[in-house]
Structure 1
Amino acid sequence: MAFSISGLSSGLDWDSIITQLVALERRPITLLENKQTVLSQRKSAWSEVNTMLASLKTDVGSLSSLDDFDLFTPRASISGTTRDVEDFIRFAVGSNATEGSYSITVNNLAESQKLSSKSFGSTSGALGISGDVIINSRVLSISATDSLGNIQTKINALNFGENPAGVTASILSLSDGEYRMSITSKATGSEGISIANASGSDILTELGLADGTLTLRNAVTGGAQSEAFSSSTDIVGDALGLTSAASGTVTIAGAGINIDLSADSLEDIAGTINGNGVLQAAGVSASIFSSTDDNGTAVYTLQIDGTQSFVDSNNILQTLGVLKQGYSDVSGVTGNAQNTTNGTAISESTLLTDIDGYNTWTSGDTITIEGLDHDGVGVGPTDFTITSTSTMGDLLDAIETAFGSEVNAYVDGSGALVVEDNQSGVSNLSLALSSSIAAMNSSLDFGTFDLSTIRKREVVAGQDSEITIDGVTFSRSTNQISDVIGGVTLDLVGADQDATITLNVNRDYDGVKEKIQDIVDGYNKLMSYIDKQNTASADGETTGTLFADSSLRSVKTTLRGIVLSEVSGLDSTLTRLSLIGISIDKTGQLSIDDDELVGYLQTNFQEVVNLFAAQGSSTSNDLTYIHSTANTNIEGDYDVEITQVATRASVLGSGFSGTLSSDATLTLTSSGGTQQTISLSAGWNITSIVNAINSGNTLGITAENDGGQLSISNSLYGSSGDFTVSGISVELGIADGDYAGDDAAGRIRVQGASEWMTMTGKGQTLTGDDGQDVHGLVIKYTGTTTDTLDFTFTKGVADKLDQALYTMTDSVDGYVATKQNSLQSQIEKIDGKIDNMEVRLTKYQETLMAKYSAMESMLSTLQAQQSWLESQISSLTSSWGKS
């Protein structure tokens, strides 16, 4: 690149000249940049307008529908105690509440079940217990090398994964050398913890968590059910994930049945039971029921009908969930506390020779064990021979062996020997230990063993909450109850049967007024901003950024017109905001007379609601208004023609004789694809068949006895309630196939008009189709015949404002967005013009630089030539002078 210094040859500051020439040429760009700045300011101002419009839309949207006015507030007082209401119950009231007064007593709170193990001497020593336990459908596998601490860790690990067990295991240190493990349900309620032995070992009794009694876990009338399984055809042990599935003989109604859970499925077990002649003769049968769980997944249950007599020595029925063990208090006998020779309490690891008083061990020393078992049957005498290495643990093992492992023997924290009775009921347990010590200076006396309640297996019983409301008692599994008083959630925190709480649920008029105040405040803020934008200084030189903007004037005119307009079609004299205490002053600002507005809310509530919200009505009780949207444009009177009434899918059988002659399997499939499979057994009458279908049904499909024939129907109207029947017995007179309901069909028109507008039916509802004035209007027809009915649709002030604001703020088609897009487009076009002009200006500057540089170079050359010529002339002149 050539380098030159401005004016070196010419003496001209042509660099400054070029700068000034370029600046003159740049004035159009500056003007465009100034225009662009103004456009950007206008775009920013419209963003502020849009923010205020959106905020106002949120406010008016909170009162645009009938439900928005359903605000309620609870007020409560208490009697029969000096404590406060909040000590017993807290309230939350929703929009679906109704006004009313209720007398409430909290009888008891829901509790989480808590179980406790027996005492162990260590948390780290191997327990020698092995097998599987099911806790809330999760499998706990215990190895012989596991300690109490290991089992606690394994139980807590069951709370992770797709199906958490929902229990917490913790270890309590009663004293040095005495530990118990507790298992607590995370959920409250009487169902508590579902825990069962799932292998041949009686682990629950070995851990001291349960006694030996068995009762029905899931009783039904005249029978029992299993827990729910994910499959009826998979092997039970595999489905549960057992490491050592139980097998052997169970006794049902006196008949022995061989079941192997490592090889049998639910269907196999049901088949074995139904194939047993003794059980058939006794009227005992088994069937498989299908239903869906809370996640919509199909689950299957084994049901045994005709008996509730079961014997389960191998834990097979426990694993299936038919039976459960008990949690009775533990009875036992306790001796005197013993110390070692150094004064510390003895433990399981204490050598017998270290017990205080046993000064000299002699070979042949013995302890005689004798007493009575749970039923009062004599035990022993049995001699335990003491060696030099015998510990208290050895003696405890000998005691358990002598009593046939029906007891649990341990040393408590005080050093006393304790023997627990593992069986429930009244205990006759007794124990006497007599020692035969050779050395005259020695004795070994464990004292007299007294029978008492040693501990509780069930520390806290799982319990439902119980409340009495207006003399009616309700029980729920949690302390949060939301399905008793409509729209009111009761949070129970304390109980006292002598305390009576009076709850009054009233309309929250102040809450409604606050919503109206929000609308007024938002409207006033917007109008003040618009007025400020249209204000000019006295000399007219300074104006608002959006001064004289026609779109902004349109916003003001539209919203002001709605606020001042009369709502037509109301059966009321309250047709304007000004008639309920909302007035407008000369500056265009709204204000509220609080006393007047609250007065109308209290005395004319529904009329105030109608003034604000969208609503519909008909002289027919069969036609009701459900909903409308901002796209529902025209209000007024309509004709609604019902061309098809909604029906429910159903089928009625015929020809059933009254008794099913053979087994059958019925499968019902909902329109969503969810299935329920029901096993029907030979010999069942219509009542048994109906009960089997309805048991655990979550599809909304129900069975009824219709004159001795089977009727199946869906509670849902229309195509959503379609279902399929397959596999049903021909005896019931119902063919396999699809059964469908009809959706309602109809159309609507403005009264007096000839053109009808289309509507789409879904169940009993009809919705106005897109692209019409009734777009988004939803109505419901519950009649049973086709008809033409009247319908009136009214849009209140808030709903009209909501619709107008939607038109203004819609991010795609709203005219605020259109305005901003237009301004942005202008800004971008100017950017393009400026870019082109900058390119041309740069070229102009480069051209000037080149020209002046060339001139400077030429002048430099000429000046050089001039200097040379002057030098030559001077030389010649000098030469001539000398000559």
Structure 2
Amino acid sequence: MPVTMGGMASGMDTDGIIKKLVEVEARPIYQWQAEKETFNQRKQALGKLGTVLSKVSDASKDLYGFRAQYNEKKAITDDPGALEVIASRHAQPGERAIQVDEIAAAHKITTDPVASDQKLSAGKFKIEVNGVSHAVKFRGGTLKALQEQLDADATDIVSTSIVNTSEDKQLLTVESKSPGKKGEIRLSGERDILYESGLVKGAKEGDNEKVAMVFDARYFVPYAGEAKIPQNTGNLDLDKDGKFVKLTGLLWREYLLPAEIAVKKNSLLEVAVEYAVAQGREKDEALPFKLEVGPEEKTIIKGIELQGYNVSRIRPLDKKEPQKQVTDLLGVGVVSVDAQKNTREEKLYPIEKNFKGRMEIPVGRDFQDKKITKVIFYCNEGDAKFADAAFLTPIDTTGLLEPKNVISKPADAKLKVDGVDITRDRNEGLNDVVKGLTLNLKGKTVKPVHVKVEHDSEKAVQKIKQFVEAYNAYIDYDRQLTKAEKVDKVGAYQANKDKNGIFMGDMTILRLENSLRATVNGAYPGRTEKPIKLFTQMGISTGAVNSAWETIREGKLVVDEGSLASTIRERPDAVEEFFGSDTDGDNRIDNGMAFAVENLLKPYVSTGKNLIASKMDLEDSSIKSADDRIARKQEHLKKYEEKLRKKFASMEQSISGAKSQGDWMKNQMKAGEGGN
């Protein structure tokens, strides 16, 4: 724009006049800029609202379904240094006594101390752990070379290390990677290298793998096999230590084994047996079936002779049916159940009534490569006592060599759970001993460790509190967005307009608030014995009794943590159903407060073009429209200012021309007067 010096002819401040006229014309721009600022504020507020709603939605998801934790349990032990117990939601509340008698140990052997530069002979040998064997081909060399060869050939089953016992001597340790008895290191093959290094001392003697049975009344169940037996009328007695079981009279029982027993060809069932004939049996055959009438009798009373037969005092006896002969008075049996095929295979082993002592039953002959799940004990008459029952499997030691230096023998963990003996091959992660509990054995105990399992409401309480905090944060922010400043005087609305929320009167925001309040404070069905239908029933409300109306009207939730925790502990299923339940039996959650909240908020927080994102797009459109109007107006102002300058320039020229003409006329008039 060219530089102008307005007002030289007219004496007016034409530049100032033009500026003020342009400012008047530009007033809509200031209004649109203010509107644009409002649109930006609304967009930012919507973005924050979406974040607040997402937190409410996420918190509600944690309250139902697989994320819910209302039935969580915790285990407390009085000796955590020896026994660590972790409870899952499937654990049964109560107390148990667990005693750790033995800790599982890995087999660890060493060589003799050998000079570090001593050359060992070459040789081949086999090393086996838990059924996995490797052939080791040693080409000769130092103890270090033997270690390297073991690491190369058998690193998956053993670990090795070199220990310097003195400046010039060292020994090699070999440790099994499988804990328990199954992790025994078994050596065989050429003996020279093994003797020379001191790993073995000679041939290994035979042994038996033994699984002892400890009787517990809880594991005895009625016989369910194919044998046809009369109705059981006998009794069962147990030794308090579980060492023997006694059957009296007619009684058949199956004993459920705590763990399946894998049977090999030479496996045996060993049991001590003792039998006694029932006492007090009457021998009916020794009595006559009928008493005969005696001879005639004569009786004289006070001189009077009476004659008659002794009939009234004679009674015939009913003939008893002869007792059926029992073929097998007592015996034992084993059962193999295949749960996948739903089949049951059993075998009974009768025992002679005169037998007394330990009996070995060749169960491996009939159940080779199968798993025994139950043992049958039966008695048809008399008293049968079965004691010290155990499964024995001879360990094949053919060709095996005996380790010379044993640092630790392979040992299984042995513990008692409520008096029942349990054996496992490891110390950590024992999750198959007590349902719902994982045991980690840290050390032996001299007495039972008391374990108390109870409901753990802490996690559930924290999740519910997180939901309440997210919901209350939404209520606070929603009030900030939709508040309406109270006006007491006529005409004061405009003065207080800026104090109102930027979404005051917005139906989308107001409808969401009303719907969410109704959903959270609504009633929901329950099928438990004592259902929870309202949030208030678990100690969560909009205010305590006798609270101020203003506090209640705010709608923010207040948590009575003590009441909430006790409700979760006492009625976990009812709490879970309140937040999410299946009402039509299709195994899909379709009702509940948390479920309803999540579904209500889905249109507002879902990925993509949800309602909040759509409203933000509308604000973006309004911002763009304002920018377009401002740009068009600014272009108009440039032209308007240019037009004004042209008009004022024309005016200045006209005034300047008029002044020049006036001056010329004055000069002419003065010249005429001078000539006269």
The TM-score bracket by the shorter chain reads 0.5 to 0.7
Structure 1's 37 and 176: CA in aligned 2 closer, same or farther, altered over 3 A?
Answer: same
- 1:598 is displaced (CA, Å) by 4.8
Distance 2:430 2:75 in 1: 15
AA partner of residue 587 (structure 2)? I
SS in structure 2 at match of 1:485: coil
Distance 1:167 1:17 in 2: 100
Question: Could you say which residue in structure 2 is the equivalent of 1:44?
Answer: 44
Structure 1's 597 and 840: CA in aligned 2 closer, same or farther, altered over 3 A?
Answer: closer
AA partner of residue 189 (structure 1)? G
SS in structure 1 at match of 2:181: coil
Within a 5 Å distance, the mapping from 1:359-508 to structure 2 comes to 456=405, 458-478=406-426, 479-496=428-445, 498-508=446-456
CA deviation string 1:270-304 (max 9, x = no partner): xxxxxxxxxxxxxxxxxxx9xxxxxxxxxxxxxxx
Is the Cα–Cα contact under 8 Å of residues 62 and 515 in structure 1 kept in the other structure? yes
- 1:180 is displaced (CA, Å) by 0.2
Question: Could you say which residue in structure 1 is the equivalent of 2:156?
Answer: 165
Question: Could you say which residue in structure 2 is the equivalent of 1:577?
Answer: 535
Is the Cα–Cα contact under 8 Å of residues 71 and 572 in structure 2 kept in the other structure? no
Question: Could you say which residue in structure 2 is the equivalent of 1:827?
Answer: 620
CA deviation string 1:163-202 (max 9, x = no partner): x6264321111112221011234453333266666x8786
AA partner of residue 540 (structure 2)? I
State which of 92, 98, 105 in structure 2 corresponds to 1:104. 98
CA deviation string 1:33-83 (max 9, x = no partner): 654443343333233333333333333333324963212122333xxxxxx
Distance 1:513 1:507 in 2: 12
Is the Cα–Cα contact under 8 Å of residues 120 and 196 in structure 2 kept in the other structure? no
Question: Could you say which residue in structure 2 is the equivalent of 1:626?
Answer: 587
CA deviation string 1:831-867 (max 9, x = no partner): 48747975996899699999999x99xxxxxxxxxxx
Distance 1:24 1:142 in 2: 103
Is the Cα–Cα contact under 8 Å of residues 120 and 193 in structure 2 kept in the other structure? no
SS in structure 2 at match of 1:801: helix
AA partner of residue 221 (structure 1)? K
In the alignment, structure 1 residue 144 sits paired with structure 2 residue 105: no
- 1:153 is displaced (CA, Å) by 4.6
Distance 1:572 1:103 in 2: 33
- 1:582 is displaced (CA, Å) by 2.7
CA deviation string 1:735-774 (max 9, x = no partner): xxxxxxxxxxxxxxxxxxxxxxxxxxxxxxxxxxxxxxxx
- 1:118 is displaced (CA, Å) by 2.6
Is the Cα–Cα contact under 8 Å of residues 73 and 87 in structure 2 kept in the other structure? yes
SS in structure 2 at match of 1:459: strand
Is the Cα–Cα contact under 8 Å of residues 120 and 180 in structure 1 kept in the other structure? yes
State which of 535, 540, 547 in structure 1 corresponds to 2:504. 547
Question: Could you say which residue in structure 1 is the equivalent of 2:265?
Answer: 222
Percent of aligned pairs with the same amino acid: 20
In the alignment, structure 1 residue 129 sits paired with structure 2 residue 122: yes
Distance 1:839 1:203 in 2: 99
TM-score, length-normalised on structure 1?
0.43
SS in structure 1 at match of 2:587: strand
Within a 5 Å distance, the mapping from 1:204-353 to structure 2 comes to 204-213=194-203, 221-222=264-265, 325-328=400-403, 330=404
Is the Cα–Cα contact under 8 Å of residues 70 and 575 in structure 2 kept in the other structure? no
- 1:549 is displaced (CA, Å) by 3.1
Distance 1:155 1:845 in 2: 92
Question: Could you say which residue in structure 2 is the equivalent of 1:792?
Answer: none
Structure 1's 58 and 190: CA in aligned 2 closer, same or farther, altered over 3 A?
Answer: farther
Structure 1's 595 and 309: CA in aligned 2 closer, same or farther, altered over 3 A?
Answer: closer
In the alignment, structure 1 residue 798 sits paired with structure 2 residue 591: no
SS in structure 2 at match of 1:481: coil
Structure 1's 69 and 42: CA in aligned 2 closer, same or farther, altered over 3 A?
Answer: same
Is the Cα–Cα contact under 8 Å of residues 64 and 802 in structure 1 kept in the other structure? no
After superposition, the CA RMSD in angstroms is 4.8
Structure 1's 38 and 191: CA in aligned 2 closer, same or farther, altered over 3 A?
Answer: farther
State which of 521, 524, 538 in structure 1 corresponds to 2:472. 524
Structure 1's 221 and 489: CA in aligned 2 closer, same or farther, altered over 3 A?
Answer: closer
Within a 5 Å distance, the mapping from 1:172-187 to structure 2 comes to 172-187=163-178
Distance 1:149 1:555 in 2: 76
Is the Cα–Cα contact under 8 Å of residues 124 and 138 in structure 2 kept in the other structure? yes
AA partner of residue 51 (structure 1)? T
Question: Could you say which residue in structure 2 is the equivalent of 1:611?
Answer: 578
AA partner of residue 613 (structure 1)? G
TM-score, length-normalised on structure 2?
0.54
Is the Cα–Cα contact under 8 Å of residues 604 and 611 in structure 2 kept in the other structure? no
SS in structure 2 at match of 1:491: strand
Distance 1:133 1:829 in 2: 83
Structure 1's 177 and 596: CA in aligned 2 closer, same or farther, altered over 3 A?
Answer: closer
Count of aligned positions: 445
Question: Could you say which residue in structure 2 is the equivalent of 1:697?
Answer: none
- 1:15 is displaced (CA, Å) by 11
> Higher relative contact order by CA 8 Å / sep ≥ 6: 1 or 2?
2
Question: Could you say which residue in structure 2 is the equivalent of 1:679?
Answer: none
Distance 1:26 1:34 in 2: 13
Is the Cα–Cα contact under 8 Å of residues 190 and 463 in structure 1 kept in the other structure? yes
Distance 1:520 1:626 in 2: 28
More helix by share: 2
Within a 5 Å distance, the mapping from 1:769-808 to structure 2 comes to 795-808=591-604
Question: Could you say which residue in structure 1 is the equivalent of 2:69?
Answer: 68
Structure 1's 148 and 104: CA in aligned 2 closer, same or farther, altered over 3 A?
Answer: same
CA deviation string 1:249-276 (max 9, x = no partner): xxxxxxxxxxxxxxxxxxxxxxxxxxxx
Query: Which has the greater radius of gyration?
Result: 2
Structure 2: stretches of 5+ with no match in the other structure: 210-261, 268-368, 370-393, 487-495, 543-551, 650-676
Structure 1's 34 and 220: CA in aligned 2 closer, same or farther, altered over 3 A?
Answer: same
Question: Could you say which residue in structure 1 is the equivalent of 2:296?
Answer: none
Distance 1:210 1:16 in 2: 114
AA partner of residue 120 (structure 1)? V
Is the Cα–Cα contact under 8 Å of residues 7 and 14 in structure 1 kept in the other structure? no
- 1:500 is displaced (CA, Å) by 0.8
Distance 1:21 1:131 in 2: 110
- 1:26 is displaced (CA, Å) by 7.7
Distance 2:59 2:198 in 1: 62
Distance 2:138 2:123 in 1: 5
Structure 1's 612 and 840: CA in aligned 2 closer, same or farther, altered over 3 A?
Answer: closer
SS in structure 2 at match of 1:486: coil
CA deviation string 1:101-141 (max 9, x = no partner): 2111111222232221232201x565453557667669686
Distance 2:397 2:608 in 1: 71
Structure 1's 819 and 175: CA in aligned 2 closer, same or farther, altered over 3 A?
Answer: same
CA deviation string 1:564-611 (max 9, x = no partner): 222246565743223443322232122234454455455555444433
Distance 2:194 2:23 in 1: 97
SS in structure 2 at match of 1:55: helix
Distance 2:572 2:438 in 1: 25
Question: Could you say which residue in structure 1 is the equivalent of 2:384?
Answer: none
AA partner of residue 550 (structure 1)? M
Structure 1's 148 and 599: CA in aligned 2 closer, same or farther, altered over 3 A?
Answer: closer
- 1:469 is displaced (CA, Å) by 0.7
Structure 1's 469 and 832: CA in aligned 2 closer, same or farther, altered over 3 A?
Answer: same
Distance 1:462 1:558 in 2: 67
